[in-house]
Chain A
Amino acid sequence: MKTNYLISTNRTARIAGTVSLTLWILIAGITLVSCDDFVQVDPPNSQLTGDVVFDDKTTANAVIVGIYGKMRDSGLMTGQIGGISCSLGLYADELDFYQDIGANNFYTNSLYAEATPVRDLWNSSYNIIYAANAVAEGIPKSALASGDKDHFLGEALFIRALMHFYLVNLYGDIPYVTGTDYLANSRVSKLPTAEVYQSIINDLNQAHELLPQEDFSWERVRPLKATATALLARVYLYNGRWGEAADSASAIINDPSYVLENDPDMAFLKENPGTIWQFSPAAEGNNTNEGNLFIFNQGPPPVVALKESFVNAFETGDLRRQHWIREITDGSSVWYHPFKYRMRAVVGSSTEYSIVLRLGEQYLIRAEARARQGDLIGAKEDLDIIRARAGLAGTTAISQQDVLTAILKERQWELFTEFGHRFMDLRRFGMLDAVLSLTKPGWDTNDRLWPLPGQELLANPNLNPQNPGY
């Protein structure tokens, strides 16, 4: 009996052993078959690889709107505190800073090469340029329909030109980056400002070819041919190419799609017909970052407020002084904040979008371009259109110099706290030192350019030399 028992357990063992072996071979077989492939995984569901993302119109579009979303919410273009609408307002003579006394290097004109915002704004801009270049490289190789290809490529070139435009205005000579190869991009050299502008103009001209005429977004939140033209007008103006500046501005002014909104209370609503390009908000009900930043309801101001000297510079009766600026008082002191955008909080439906390019600027571009070319009558015509809208009488300027001075003032009143116009205008007019040394105790003539980020120079010596004074 014992023997049988032993045999039977041995049989059990044998069966178990065979089962075990079979399993073994099965596993080994499976492993063998999939040996090389096993450790190669598919990309995760929540990510797309660079080579397929542009093959589908929906995902290609998502990449493009991803760039606009970034521009709206971070970096140079944002209406939040880090963007140039605020920081160049502080750097020039538009805004006072109330948070952490003296802690803002823009406000005190005390930027230094290692300052975090100097590096962050540089890096975030080139990050956007990288994204645009990735589109520019990926789209032509993609399987998209040719019309879609053109539109996306045009937008990418437009974005690239726009970011380089602001970079060259802040940092002076910069590299113009047109690819995604990080080995090449980590050794790029600086280009003289004029060459940077030529690349911007080339990109904008090409973008103009590719971008659509018609606004498929219905809200002017995507660049069109006219958008490229409007930016081109500004770039020509900055480069002294007056004729082309005037022509480009004329193309917009003569376009019946764009009409000046004459009611100053409605000039920054999202539907106003003077808008050329604006940022779509993050969610329905959101309004602008600018409104959120600038508006306050009781003093002292939490973050920033308009300088009293700036507010007092307006001519009497200027509707913009009355409608685009709001006074806040606690009974003894008075503070002012920009009130172009009226909405601060999230509401049921959005009424204001952050406007990047608008018709008012085009009139002033053409006015200046005409004046520079000696067409003072034409210049004053354009200038007076803007003045009339602000409830002001026609300009009294007669000489070319007076007309230009009047245009500079008009730009100050019209374009304040919009993407650093004031600072860049003063530099173009050669008046930075004369004007800013009056109101800015920390102003130094070398402050006309920001320093290149110190770490950037360490990482890529081809970017030397540092801008003067840093």
Chain B
Amino acid sequence: MKIISIDKGFYAIILGLFLWCPARANTVLASTGTYFFQQQVHGTVTDASGPLPGVIIAVKGKNIAVNSDTNGNYTIAASAGDTLIFSFIGFKRVEKTVSSGAINVVMEPESSGLEEVVINTGYYTVKDKQRTGSISRITSKDIGDQPVTNVLATMQGRMAGVDIIQDGGSPGGSFQIKIRGINSLRRDGNQPLYVIDGVPYSSETIGSPDTSTSTASFTSPLNSINPSDIESIEVLKDADATSIYGSRGANGVVLITTKKGKIGKTSVNVLASTAIGKVTKMIDLMQTPEYLEMRRQAFANDGIDTYPDFAYDINGTWDQNRNTDWQKELIGGTAHITSAQLSLSGGSENTQYLLSGTYRSETTVTPGDFRYDKGAAHFNMNHRSQDNKFRLAVTANYTSQDNNLPSTDLTAISRKLAPNAPKLYNEDGSLNWEDGTFENPLAALESKASIKTNDLLANTLMSYELFRDFEVKLNLGFTDLSNNEERIMPSTMYNPAYGIGSSESLLLTNLTSRKSWIAEPQLHWKKDMAGGVLDVLAGATAQQQQSKRLYQIGYGFSSNSLIYDLASAGAVFTTANDEAVYRYQAFFGRLNYNWQDRYIINLTGRRDGSSRFGPGKQFASFGAVGMAWLFSNEAFLNGSKVLSFGKLRASYGTTGNDQIGDYQFLNSYASSGIAYQGVIGLTPQRLYNPDFSWEVNKKLEMGLEMGFLKNRVSLSVAHYRNRSSNQLVGIPLPGTTGFASVNANLAATVQNTGFEFTLGTTNVETKDFNWTSSLNLTIARNKLIEFPGLESSPYANTYIIGQSLNIARLYHYTGLNEQTGVYQVQDFDGDGAITAANDKQVIADLTPKFFGGFQNQLSYKNWKLDFLFQFTKQKNYDYIPSSAAGLPYNQPSGQVFWQQSGDKGPQQITTTGANSAAVAGYYQYAASDAVIVDGSYIRLKNIALSYNLPSEALGGIRCRLFFQGQNLLTFTPYEGGDPEFKYAGYLPPLKIYSLGAQLTF
């Protein structure tokens, strides 16, 4: 009850402010009548390159302001002796005293480096110099140089503390992102909050595992964001930056700002490129002679003299002289990527617009006609009133994706298929089943998956300056996503020997829709106070998200040509028809005090309510304090020749995590999907615990930022310690309760600590040649500090107290038994049996030791070269063959097998499967420390070379030609294929070569 009354009180205050504001506004507006007897001052504002439109010209101390027009001209009412202030983002502020005659001003750009970069922190912006929080940022300059479709791909290797791994090379595949490590014990509770133009964007999966394509994880909605429409991406990391996002800030916040219209005459920008993609690295596998030798040896080892009927590879059924490189055949193709973008932008000093359309089409490296099409439209309009008091920004993004892909990834089969397996196609182009002896891998491609996703994201931001430095703002947002997945499993995907007809063909459909709206009223107020500046922000959020899902299976068709028609199915089962509503409301505030640009204190807080929690547990408060000391502005350092900038900052605060899904607190019954007597049953969903609440993440950070030699060298070092506690997990219960667990908060604590370094240097800065470098490095550790009752929990074999969450428990490989030739692992408990629970005692930490990126930008006259090396020091699983050697599956080449007593291998005795000790040995070996190898790599993640044609040659049209490459070079000791993977057996990231041209006129 008390909580509610506080909220009401808060509202009353805000409401009071609203009621008071209009009255105040009228008096302010009325006072503007005094300028009647003033003179009209006019002039032109320019910069080095010509007239500068959009410059704000204001009379100091009065509420009069105008903008310069497209020719840089302005007229303003002012009295002699007044001071005019000329300001424009990116330029130094100029003050001029009004006398007689025109006042012409030449604006000078702000100096480079840390100085005046303005950072978006979501609810407010801050000059980078004055920032108290930890924020990483990339801009369209970096994004535009990368031939990728996913927004997370553009961030990879460019931000300290942000670890991104690509799931696979299939078009439309998703990425794993970890901002400062894993915080939650729930595997799916570690997603950051995505906010696009002020609108939270749910990253929860929209696909179903059955209907998604061959990607390793489910369809991610993040594919709907078009990288070429992005102006900047800011990642908020510490408490100071994320506490204002309260319950959703624990895993960091990714702020995406799309491009805006620019003042000036209408400019048309056309960009087209074409690219090819190939698999980066194949595994060196056996060819037919080596393979057949292995097989013959295996039969001999098992004492089998006559090859059985089903051993087609070796008994003469298949041609033993045939040799196919299946990796080349099945995943060795070339993906073709074409993309084109047309954008239109321009506007007056008051109103600017941007309209752009993008189309991209991508094929795959697998055989067959598969493609991924993506179209995107982006619109932005900004308006501000003549007096600069009212501002309006409208942004809309619409993306449509059509992803037609095989529903099976052929990578795994390409590595295990016998090299003398028969040809794929018959002479007539049909699939070859070799008289029923060959499970043709291309048959899997008969099962096609199609994903159609449409996504609209619209946002309106209105603000009005009621009186000087007091602004009210309203942010309204709307998202509408629909995802239609279909997967067919026609009878033609099966060997015709089974005699299966279209009556057993399947159609699986999954339709997801997700709509959300948000409204966020805010107040911004700025006040000079006690020699410093006080900045106040107060706001409220109301948000609703509604998700629906319909999953149906159609079974049995009279003909396979009707397979896409659910109505033609003999039987239709509705497996899921869910609807979920998520509501969220919050009040947030910020108090920032900057004393003479030397001491800055930043207080942020948020009170959150979420429908994901039960009555009485819906509200919680989060807050942070951040401080900065700009010691370079102290008298004793002022004028230092070496140190041009110095800042020490620290922050501490709390954030939360509400990623637990909807309705988990309810005692509810849902359809079991199982019929009895023709009635679909209802089944209890869970044990009812209405009392669980938020996970809390306490973040501590200290940072030092320095600039040397007029900021030609800048260095930033940060140390953080995040502790995530009150872990919301399924608390294990005895089975006698009817369920394995109940959602509750556990006194388990996960700690992430780390150092982040960013070094930026301007190596050469001359008229024709410029060279800048930047290096980022992250050293991070993850540790489970406490977990009461771990031994009796379902996590007992997954986690260990004092270790990282990202560990593998393994057997210890002790070598080959020279007598039996079988792999051996250590029997730790000495009970004579190898059991997973007792003998997996070796712990391998798969968390990267460190990772980062090294970027260089060089420009010489009209040439520009930009490249990024990404690196990771880590352990990873080696390629593990799909079976023990000797079985009818291919193996890495060059293995030396044990053959007789005394042999040292190193590989164990081959077997056809009859030697059960060897089969067990293979499984134990595959789960032992022997397969954990150095998975570190340095990769030329991105390279972009561009040339600007002299614009005079084209009559004012600017033309840029470019070459871009992705993943072109990789240095790694890893031999099991591509070292960048999260899930084994999926298509690795591709290397991409892209050529294109950009015209601007």
Residues of A bordering B, CB below 8 Å: 2-3, 5-6, 9-10, 12-14, 16-18, 20-21, 23-25, 27-32, 35-36, 38-51, 53, 59, 61-63, 65-70, 72-73, 101-102, 114, 119, 122-123, 126-127, 129-131, 133-134, 175, 177, 180, 182, 185-186, 188, 217, 219, 221-222, 279-280, 282-284, 453, 455-456, 458-460, 463
Selected from B584, B585, B734, the residue in CB contact (under 8 A) with A35 is: B585
Given contacts A13-B390, A459-B734, contact A49 B681 (CB under 8 A): no
Chain A CB within 8 A of B969 CB: no
| B542, B681, B685, B732: most-surrounded residue (chain A CB, <10 A) | B681
Selected from A16, A50, A63, the residue in CB contact (under 8 A) with B667 is: A50
Interface-side segment among B164-172, B596-604, B738-746, B850-858: B738-746
A108 vs B4: C-alpha distance when bound (angstroms): 63
CB distance from B679 to the nearest CB of A (A): 5
Interface-side segment among B608-616, B700-708, B717-725, B980-988: B608-616
Q: Cβ of B7 and Cβ of A36 under 8 Å apart?
A: yes
Give the residues in chain A near B576, CB-CB below 8 Å. Answer: 46
A51 vs B609: C-alpha distance when bound (angstroms): 25
Q: Cβ of B387 and Cβ of A13 under 8 Å apart?
A: yes
Q: Cβ of B740 and Cβ of A70 under 8 Å apart?
A: no
Give the residues in chain A near B521, CB-CB below 8 Å. Answer: 24, 27-28
A21 vs B688: C-alpha distance when bound (angstroms): 44
Q: Cβ of A28 and Cβ of B583 under 8 Å apart?
A: no
A53 vs B683: C-alpha distance when bound (angstroms): 10
Which residue on chain A has the smallest CB distance to residue B732? A459
Interface residues of B in 679-714 (CB under 8 A from A): 679-685, 687-689
Q: Cβ of A14 and Cβ of B29 under 8 Å apart?
A: yes
Give the residues in chain A near B542, CB-CB below 8 Å. Answer: 27, 30-31, 38
Given contacts A10-B387, A283-B571, A456-B736, contact A69 B579 (CB under 8 A): no
Give the residues in chain B near A30, CB-CB below 8 Å. Answer: 542
A66 vs B472: C-alpha distance when bound (angstroms): 55
A122 vs B740: C-alpha distance when bound (angstroms): 11
Q: Cβ of A21 and Cβ of B18 under 8 Å apart?
A: yes
Chain A CB within 8 A of B230 CB: no
| A69, A129, A282: most-surrounded residue (chain B CB, <10 A) | A69
Which residue on chain B has the smallest CB distance to residue A36? B4
Interface-side segment among B142-150, B174-182, B668-676: B668-676
Q: Lowest 7 CB-CB distances: which A-B pairs, in order?
A: A130-B738, A66-B681, A9-B386, A458-B792, A123-B735, A69-B674, A65-B676
Selected from A43, A67, A114, A222, the residue in CB contact (under 8 A) with B666 is: A43
Q: Cβ of B681 and Cβ of A28 under 8 Å apart?
A: no
Interface residues of B in 563-597 (CB under 8 A from A): 571, 576-585
A217 vs B32: C-alpha distance when bound (angstroms): 85
Q: List 29 A-B contacts (CB under 8 A).
A: A3-B35, A9-B385, A13-B387, A20-B464, A30-B542, A31-B542, A35-B8, A38-B542, A43-B663, A43-B668, A44-B578, A44-B579, A44-B663, A49-B669, A51-B667, A62-B681, A62-B682, A66-B681, A126-B736, A131-B684, A133-B738, A175-B736, A182-B738, A185-B734, A185-B737, A186-B736, A188-B736, A455-B796, A459-B732
Q: Cβ of B386 and Cβ of A6 under 8 Å apart?
A: yes
Chain A CB within 8 A of B431 CB: no
CB distance from B762 to the nearest CB of A (A): 43
CB distance from A151 to the nearest CB of B (A): 14
Interface range on chain B: under 10, 10 to 19, 20 to 34, or 35 or more? 35 or more
A179 vs B589: C-alpha distance when bound (angstroms): 48
Give the residues in chain B near A131, CB-CB below 8 Å. Answer: 683-684, 738
A67 vs B680: C-alpha distance when bound (angstroms): 11
Q: Cβ of B462 and Cβ of A3 under 8 Å apart?
A: no
Chain A CB within 8 A of B22 CB: yes
A185 vs B581: C-alpha distance when bound (angstroms): 32
A325 vs B935: C-alpha distance when bound (angstroms): 57
CB distance from A284 to the nearest CB of B (A): 7
Which residue on chain B has the smallest CB distance to residue A102? B916
A374 vs B18: C-alpha distance when bound (angstroms): 95
CB distance from A352 to the nearest CB of B (A): 16
Give the residues in chain A near B429, CB-CB below 8 Å. Answer: none
Q: Cβ of B733 and Cβ of A459 under 8 Å apart?
A: yes
Selected from B540, B618, B663, B685, the residue in CB contact (under 8 A) with A28 is: B540
Q: Cβ of A186 and Cβ of B733 under 8 Å apart?
A: yes
Chain A CB within 8 A of B803 CB: no
CB distance from B33 to the nearest CB of A (A): 9
Q: Cβ of B581 and Cβ of A28 under 8 Å apart?
A: no
Give the residues in chain A near B390, CB-CB below 8 Å. Answer: 12-13, 16-17, 20
Selected from B40, B466, B578, B684, the residue in CB contact (under 8 A) with A17 is: B466
Chain A CB within 8 A of B344 CB: no
Q: Give 13 new A-B contacts, CB below 8 A, not counting A21-B25, A70-B683.
A: A17-B466, A21-B472, A39-B585, A41-B663, A43-B663, A46-B577, A47-B663, A47-B666, A65-B679, A66-B674, A69-B681, A130-B739, A284-B678
Q: Cβ of B11 and Cβ of A31 under 8 Å apart?
A: yes
